[in-house]
């Protein structure tokens, strides 16, 4: 076991380490800290030394408030509908009380520094063809919200990109079952049954016609 490094009295961002709690989490020391705002919290030592935790949570809350009040966009939802897209993106990544936080911020998904300013995000969206009805979608579902990992899609396209969708790879291409169904003209339900109940190999799943139906050429 690695020798414990005493962090007592050291500062990490807004946090000052007070003492070792005596608790251990996955072999890491849990330290009791006081935040500059007055709150006291317990934090794993590795989170402190890596810079992942620098406050009791007040910093992120302040960033949310700042982002919604200092850029002249707050209350502009009707004038700039795309602002709603930015606001939703930002809150689900930064606000632990947001109903979708566990699937975004809770998984470590973040908004890049430049897009923390809604004006910058709106400029990007407009330059990339945003229109009412489109939303922001990440190309890599495990990646952050940033220009090179995002594009604008319809609600239907975004639904197909959800992590819960069943992705199938064939001939070097990966698509969800809905896309394969449209391409092969085989009902999605049939594809699902072939994969999950009959356990057919992928090639047979996607190439064997439904009885009584002509397979797409």
Structure confidence by residue, pLDDT tens digits, 40-49? 999 999 989 9
Q: Is the pLDDT of residue 216 over 50?
A: no
Largest CA distance in the chain: 76
Q: Which two tokens stand for residue 52?
A: 């992942």
CA-wise closest residue to 68 among 47, 84, 54: 84
- Per-residue pLDDT, averaged over 141-168, amounts to 73
Single pTM value for the model: 0.45
CA dihedral of residues 79, 81, 82, 88 (deg, nearest 10): 120
Q: Would you call 137 helix, strand, or coil by DSSP? A: strand
């Amino acid at each position: 076991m690695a020798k414990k490094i005493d962090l007592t009295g050291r500062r990490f961002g807004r946090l000052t380490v007070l003492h070792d709690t005596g608790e251990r989490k996955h072999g890491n020391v849990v330290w009791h800290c006081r935040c500059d705002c007055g709150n006291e919290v317990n934090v794993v030592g590795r989170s402190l030394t890596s810079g992942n935790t620098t406050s009791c949570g007040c910093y992120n809350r302040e960033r949310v408030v700042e982002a919604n009040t200092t850029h002249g966009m707050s209350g502009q939802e009707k004038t700039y509908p795309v602002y709603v897209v930015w606001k939703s993106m930002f809150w689900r990544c930064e606000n632990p009380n947001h109903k979708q936080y566990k699937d975004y911020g809770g998984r470590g998904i973040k908004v890049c520094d430049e897009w923390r300013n809604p004006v910058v995000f709106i400029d990007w969206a407009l330059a990339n063809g945003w229109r009412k009805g489109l939303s922001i979608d990440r190309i890599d579902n495990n990646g952050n919200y940033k220009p090179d990992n995002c594009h604008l899609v319809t609600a239907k396209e975004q639904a197909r990109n959800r992590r819960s969708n069943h992705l199938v790879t064939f001939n070097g291409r990966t698509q969800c079952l809905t896309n394969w169904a449209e391409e092969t003209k085989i009902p999605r339900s049939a594809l699902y049954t072939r994969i999950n109940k009959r356990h057919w190999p992928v090639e047979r799943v996607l190439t064997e016609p439904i009885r009584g139906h002509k397979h797409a050429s």
